[in-house]
Structures are given as structure tokens and as C-alpha cells.
Copies of this chain bind each other. A is one copy, B any other.
Amino acid sequence: MADLPDKSSAFVDWYLAAVEAADLTDKRYPVKGMNVWTPYGLAARRLLDRVLVTEIEATGSVAVEFPLLIPETEFAKEAEHIKGFDREVFWVTRGGASPLDVPLALRPTSETAMYPIFALWVRSHRDLPLNVYQIVNVFRYDTKTTRPFVRVREIHFFEEHTCQADIAASDARVQSNLAAFRKMAEAFGLPYLAIRRPEWDKFPGAFYSIAFDAPVGGALTLQLGTVHAYRENFSRPYGIRFEAADGSQQYAQQTTFGLSERLLGAIVAVHGDEKGAALPTSVAPHEVVVVPITAAGAGATPLTVARAYADRLRAAGRRVLVDERDDRPGAKYFYWEARGVPLRLDVGRREAESGTATAVDRLGRRTTVTAAALEAEVAAALAEYDRALRGRADRAFAERFALARTLEELKDSATVRVLSWCGREECGHAIETAIGGGLLGTPEGPLPMELGPPGPCVASGETENVRWAVAARPI
């Protein structure tokens, strides 16, 4: 295998090569930005989705599925929303040979598909809260350069949509989503910041937006997902009203929570290294690959032992593959390292005879496990690997932020920047111009650095109403 580009100096090139080497997607499909999910990539995606489903269902959300196609008439009901999306929509205009009476949008997101039906489902305060989610593909005619998982035109998408009885319940739902995302990110070993987006960068139609951003290298960040409070911005045009306990008619207070295949891109981007992807156990299609090492003519014992180990681990619920291909062990090591397999068990003649295996995790740490306690020792090695992977990500995370005291310092920044901002939009745009990216907004929690109270605004020098904010370049 050819060496990958250097991750720290050529992040995007490294990312593209690492995704390719990990065999997660096939980019040769003849439509720009629409890629094929390979068996390996789809297996990882299914595991990732399982984490999302588990965590969101634990908060009382239930799965639904709405149609892909949205009539233009419904799509256009909320003015900000259509303004935000109409340049990005794929339109179906023809059925067979006939033009359609009303063009149909391929959903870029599902507010305008769901909310006419929510207006039928929500009639009384007893119907609330309505917390539903779906996992579907959405479509955006993005004209920028596409990149696997992080900027594609067919997007594997998770979207929760809720209706709440009042603003307090809606703010509580946002907090519940933030807590659910903490658990999801924990399962993927991903450090991130929850950042309240500035007014001009809210989701089209939102009252406020909180995004999850992960720094991935240099000044680059990847937006992992978003939670939005809509208040009544959609419930009014779509007529989602209910009879309150006091008999009055009220509009639902709505929220949404969006995630996507970007999470898989973030896992590659954050955890990967010079050997390729490094998958946390939660999303690894094979948690363990067993490699029998048999010198030519040396008989079948290592293979037999390797299969027996695999059977035992499978019986214990592990996802295990025995790599029986006719290839050099070294070639197999490279192959599975690039694919990010958490743990390899090498079984040679020595191990087969002594009832052991040499365990090598994706971070290169080597131990010996014994057949007597195979299941427990493998479980311990995987847990230790996940901890170490998270530790490495946390150390890199902390190093990816630096303070900027002037606009000048933002230029050609080699890190994400933390800065004082007075909250004014013109200052925000000056900051964005200086860094050549975006003012992500104001963090909802502590930043990974020692900070006193904010100083004067880096743009205006204003000292009133200043707050810490984060600026970065989107990948």
C-alpha cells in the first residue's frame, strides 16, 4: 500500500486517501457527490445508526418515515426556509413522458414533508409532546467540491422533529437532544464543542441553532450536527395547533435535531492516522480480526486455533473475522490497519501451542491474551483501546484551539481561534473575512483552555457585552 499524505500538513488530501484506503465508500458512481456504500462502509454505518437509534429512543422518540418527494406548494410555505434551500433542491418535473402539474422536491430536509401531517396528528395538548425521528437519505444540489461523507449530494440523514406545548418544554427538548448527543459522541470517542450559531448562520427558519463542531486539523472544523428551536416559525404557516388544557388554541413549539453520515467522516478525520482509519469499537464491522500465521507446510494448527477463538468470541457477541486469505501476514496487517479494525489477534505456531494469541490493537499496543480467559481479555483490550483512542483525540482537540487577540492573528491561522466578540453582526463578518471562514458562534459550555473574562472585541475594540466566540474554517 502506498503511504498516505501527511495528516497535519495536508489534511484534506490525507482524509481523501484515508477514506479510500478504508474501503468505506466507492466514489466511482457516475453522479457527482453520490457515492456507493460498500459492504464495509454500510456495515459501519448500520452500527453508527444503531447508536443514534438507541440514544434517541431512550429519550422517548419514535421512528416514522415520510415520503421523499415534497410538492413545491408545501415546500414554499415558510419563507426563510425556502430562501435557504431553493438553490440546493433537486426537482422532479416529469413522470414517464408527462410533465408533472406540480414539481416535486427531493427532500433536502423534511420539515415541509412532515408538518402538513403534524397539523393532522396534533389536535390536543394530550397529543403532545410529539417526538418523532426518521433516518432517510436527503438530497442537496451542493455546487461546492464534494467530499465523501462530509459534503455529498445524497446524504444519509438522521432528523428528529418535535412539537412541544410551550417554550419551556421546547427548550427542555433542546437540552435533552444536547444530552443525547453527548452520549452518541461518547460512543464514537469524538470530542466536540456545542456552539450557538450567530443570527446570520442559523438554520433557515430557526429561532436559534446550536451546532456540534469538531476541530479536525489546522483551522478546519467539521459540523457534526445541529439542534434547532423553531418556536412557532413553522407551526404557524403549517397550522400545527392544539387545544390547550384551558381550552385555548395554541401553536406548537417545535424543535429539530439533525445528524448525518458526517459522523462517519468525523470518525475517520479525528481518529485516523498515518496508517489510515481507526474505528472505535462501537462502529467497527469487525471488532476483532484473527490472523492465523502458518508457515508453508507447517500444518493447520494455527488456523484451527484461530477459528476456535473466533467461534468463542462470536458466541460472546463479538463481531469477528478470521482472515484466511492466502497472503503474507504483513500485507494483512496493513490491510486491516487501513480499515481501522480495533484489535488483531495473531495466532502462529507458538501461540497455538501455548494456548495464547498475540493481541495488537489499532494503536499498535501489543499484549498476550490467553485461551483460558479469551473473552474477558479481549473485552478488556477493546475497552482499553477505546479509552486510548479517545485519549489521543482529546489531546489533539485541546491543541487545536488558540486565542486570537487581533484580526491580524486570524489570518492564515493554523488553529481554530477563540476570540472576544461584541455580538455585532458587522464585527462577526470582519472576523469571518479575516480567518477566511466562519464565526461559529458562542460555545454553550467551557472551552478546552484556560480563559479569563473576554477582553475587547477583536474587530471593534468594544468592551461592552463581549463574550468568547469561536472562529474556524469549514472543511
Contacts and interface: CB of A to CB of B under 8 A. Distances in A.
Interface stretch (A12-20, A85-93, A371-379, A397-405): A85-93
A94 B96 contact: no
A143 B86 CA distance: 29
A324 interface: no
A221 interface: no
Contact of A67 (B31, B88, B104): B31
Interface in A407-447: none
A29 B92 CA distance: 17
B120 A28 contact: yes
Interface stretch (A3-11, A37-45, A310-318): A37-45
A66 B29 contact: yes
Contacts of A91: 92-95
Query: How many protomers of this protein does the assembly include?
Result: 2
Contacts of A73: 30
Contacts of A62: 39
A137 interface: yes
A36 B118 CA distance: 11
Contacts of A34: 67-69
Contacts of A92: 90-93, 106
Question: Which interface residue of A28, A62, A92, A97 has the most chain B CB atoms within 10 A?
Answer: A92
A132 B141 CA distance: 29
Nearest to A29: B67
A455 interface: no
A214 to B, nearest CB: 25
A172 interface: no
A444 to B, nearest CB: 31
A125 to B, nearest CB: 15
A50 interface: no
A433 to B, nearest CB: 26
Contacts of A42: 63-65
A52 to B, nearest CB: 14
Given A42-B64, A42-B65, A132-B39, A30 B96 contact: no
Contacts of A88: 96
A66 B36 contact: yes
A80 to B, nearest CB: 17
A121 to B, nearest CB: 8
A392 interface: no
A350 interface: no
A72 to B, nearest CB: 11
B29 A117 contact: yes
A208 to B, nearest CB: 27
Given A63-B39, A69-B154, A154-B69, A30 B94 contact: no
Contacts of A67: 29, 31, 34-36, 154
A204 interface: no
A63 B49 CA distance: 15
A296 to B, nearest CB: 20
Contacts of A117: 26, 28-29, 36
A74 interface: yes
A25 to B, nearest CB: 10
A55 B165 CA distance: 44
Contacts of A37: 64-66
A71 interface: yes
A39 B36 CA distance: 29
30 contacts: A29-B66, A29-B113, A30-B71, A30-B73, A30-B74, A31-B69, A31-B70, A31-B71, A34-B67, A34-B68, A36-B67, A39-B63, A42-B63, A42-B64, A68-B68, A68-B106, A68-B139, A69-B154, A86-B96, A87-B96, A87-B97, A88-B96, A89-B96, A91-B92, A91-B93, A91-B94, A92-B106, A93-B93, A93-B94, A96-B143
Given A42-B64, A69-B154, 17 more contacts: A29-B116, A30-B71, A31-B67, A31-B69, A31-B71, A37-B65, A38-B64, A42-B63, A68-B68, A69-B139, A86-B97, A87-B96, A88-B96, A91-B93, A91-B95, A92-B106, A94-B103
